[in-house]
Amino acid sequence: MAENGNGLMEKLVALCKRRGFIFQSSEIYGGINGFWDYGPLGVELKRNIKAAWWEDIVRKRDDMLGLDAAIIMNPRVWEASGHVGGFSDPMVDCRQCKARFRADMLIRYRLYECSHLPASISLADVGSIIQGSPSYEFRAESGATLEDLQVIIRRETGNRRAKADVRPRDDGFGERFVEIGGKEYYISDFIERILKAGEHCPKCGGELTEPRQFNLMFQRYVGGVHDDSAIAYLRPETAQGIFADYKNVLDSSRVKLPFGIAQIGKAFRNEINPRNYTFRSREFEQMEIEFFCRPDEAARWYEYWRDARFQWYVDHGLTSSKLRLRDHEADELAHYAASCADIEYAFPFGISELEGIANRTDFDLRQHQEYSGRDLTYFDDETKERFLPYVIEPSGGVDRTALAILCEAYSEDEAPDENGVMQQRVVMKLHPRLAPTKVAVFPLVKKEGMPEIATEVHEQVKSAGIVSFYDEKGAVGRRYRRQDEAGTPFCVTVDGQTLQDGTVTIRDRDTLAQERISKDEVLAYVRDRLG
């Protein structure tokens, strides 16, 4: 097995470039931060993820419809959703090296570096640093509570389960302190750490500018005039396109509650600090569902989609303990959400979200109804009621899913070469349904009619719509290794015995087991095992 942590990440990044999964965008010009290209294998992996999701979510269900909304929409959409006024992060620049940072990330950076500092700072003072940031739901007033402190702790440490355990000291002076990650901090010290966080650049130690709000949407101009009337935005999420088209879908399809609208599409966020390979990028792809239901049925549908979406990842190869389903606690919920859960994966760089499932109540439809002036209510023919449906939203990232699948699949073990000598190999144990190439076909040697038979098998599989790869170059052991790194589940070899009885050897990537079957049975064999 491969090691955890940065060592695994470095090996995976190298493999992804070497085998054509992922490239840095515009690499020949020095690249561009936050943008990535998917190579020949990577694009097949992404397409397979999206195809599996679409097949399972839309085509196999009677209560789901598809949509492909435009990337650029009327800017009023983003006013209604709150993105124009509130989709921003506090940003600071270094006056010396010109580096740019999120102010709240500097707080996290400094948190564990500060030594013990006496202070008499109130919780209210903390609000002066972080007020206005949508990342925090903190009341900056003198009556701030322990719950407010816990919000800060979870945000600044990245530990969403951290709790503020407040109690008197043993000496009876009544000083309050908090335990974080097994270490005790006086609350006054903790606040001092936050206040000291943004003083100097963590790269060069230079002076930083004052924090200012930085909107994460890419602003564009539509048409030939560059003025306020022509401002538009690249969408920062796909969900709002579904809400804007909800009434059109309802009227044109004549569907009844409960029903969902599903969409896969690109979204764009002008991240200040893209990081962790493809996990946090400025251009990314989402797989999103907005499932509309009666308000009194929302809790039940939330439970259904939370469990169903978690199982989908398990069914597609994320079977280790690195995958987990975590329900949000009350103080983590967005203001519009009645409940929310994250499907998380333990990447080499830390535990992070793959998909969120939220009961968004009727917030979005109510906002768009107010801003557009259009009636978005649903009329129930049976009960004669008119109401705004509640919405359950499972929203996942295609790129994050692909990265998790690649991390889970990466493995190192030993396999025999063509001479029976055990050699170390790198193998991508991708789920067969998602693997870029399903079958590789080899002639053992380039003579005696073997290439012709191998080509015949290759064409038969390929004509059935299954991705097949033909390779006749190099020792067969090296060809196996190349396909192991590509994640190909099955390798078919045409050899001397094929010339005698028409059978071929088919090799399983994960178990290394080999069996002989008729060359005419290869297609059926592969189909049965693709899942």
Taking residues 263-292, report their average pLDDT: 91
**pLDDT at residue 2 greater than cutoff 50:** no
Taking residues 180-190, report their average pLDDT: 50
Q: Does domain 437-529 have CATH number 3.40.50.800?
A: yes
Taking residues 276-287, report their average pLDDT: 92
Q: Are 176 and 186 in contact (CB under 8 A)?
A: yes
Percent of the chain with pLDDT over 90: 56
Quick one: pLDDT at residue 42? 97
Least confident of 35-49, 104-118, 249-263: 104-118
Quick one: pLDDT at residue 110? 46
The CATH fold of domain 6-85+220-406: BirA Bifunctional Protein; domain 2 (3.30.930)
**pLDDT at residue 38 greater than cutoff 90:** yes
The domains spanning 6-85+220-406 and 437-529 adopt the same CATH topology: no
Q: What are phi and psi of 96, to 5 degrees?
A: -95, -60
pLDDT by residue (tens digit) across 69-79?
A: 999 999 899 88
Quick one: pLDDT at residue 415? 76
Q: Sheet holding 390-397: strands in order across?
A: 64-66, 259-268, 283-293, 390-397, 350-359, 339-347, 323-327
Quick one: pLDDT at residue 102? 66
**pLDDT at residue 456 greater than cutoff 90:** yes
Percent of the chain with pLDDT over 70: 77
**pLDDT at residue 180 greater than cutoff 60:** no
Instruction: Give pTM, 2 decimals.
Output: 0.78
pLDDT by residue (tens digit) across 369-394?
A: 999 999 999 999 999 999 999 999 99
Quick one: pLDDT at residue 355? 95
What is the distance between the alpha carbons of residues 333 and 81, in angstroms, rounded to a whole number?
17
What is the distance between the alpha carbons of residues 526 and 94, in angstroms, rounded to a whole number?
57
At 87, is the pLDDT very low, low, confident or very high (cuts 50, 70, 90)?
A: low
**pLDDT at residue 345 greater than cutoff 70:** yes
Instruction: Fill in the DSSP letter of residue 329.
Output: P
More confident residue, 52 or 164: 52
pLDDT by residue (tens digit) across 113-162?
A: 332 222 333 333 333 333 333 222 222 222 334 454 555 555 545 555 55
Break the chain into its structural domains and give their ranges: 6-85+220-406, 88-215, 437-529
Taking residues 314-325, report their average pLDDT: 92
Quick one: pLDDT at residue 95? 82
Taking residues 432-438, report their average pLDDT: 96
At 219, is the pLDDT very low, low, confident or very high (cuts 50, 70, 90)?
A: confident
**pLDDT at residue 22 greater than cutoff 90:** yes
More confident residue, 465 or 136: 465
Q: Are 399 and 347 in contact (CB under 8 A)?
A: no
Token pair listed for 415: 């396999």
The string over 345-360, giving b where at least 16 C-beta atoms fall within 10 Å of a residue's C-beta and e elsewhere, is bbbbeeebebbbbbbb
Arithmetic mean of pLDDT over the chain: 81
At 183, is the pLDDT very low, low, confident or very high (cuts 50, 70, 90)?
A: low
